[in-house]
Amino acid sequence: MNGGPLPREARVAAIRAALERALSPLELQVVDDSARHAGHAGARDGRGHFNVDVVSAAFEGMPPLARHRAVYAALGDLMETDIHALSIDARAPAERTDGGAG
């Protein structure tokens, strides 16, 4: 990244691409929840609120905090330039809500 924020409409795709590169997820959902936080102090600087639901074999054997750190590391500069708040649901394949079938 070159230090500047992305256009708002490009953020979900950038988050998705960064997580796909770093974690090779089996499942990935990225939701821009920024509209629900309009006027929030952290949203005034233009950064957004996002929800990430990711299932990856990279999380096998990792405690929750390590999984969150892996997601933050994968997002890199986006955490500084485009993301104000991030809700993360990071699971290993055996922990999928559908029981891992698929």
DSSP string, 59-76: GTT--HHHHHHHHHHHHT
Mean pLDDT of the chain: 88
pTM, 2 dp: 0.84
Residue 19: closest CA among 90, 95, 99, 81:
90
Q: Give residue 78's pLDDT.
A: 96
What is the tens place of the pLDDT at every residue in 14-34? 999 999 999 999 999 999 998
The predicted structure's pLDDT at residue 24: 98
What pLDDT score was predicted for residue 102?
Answer: 45
Span 83-102, average pLDDT: 83
Could you give all domains of the chain from N- to C-terminal order, each with its CATH number? 25-35+48-94 (3.30.300.90)
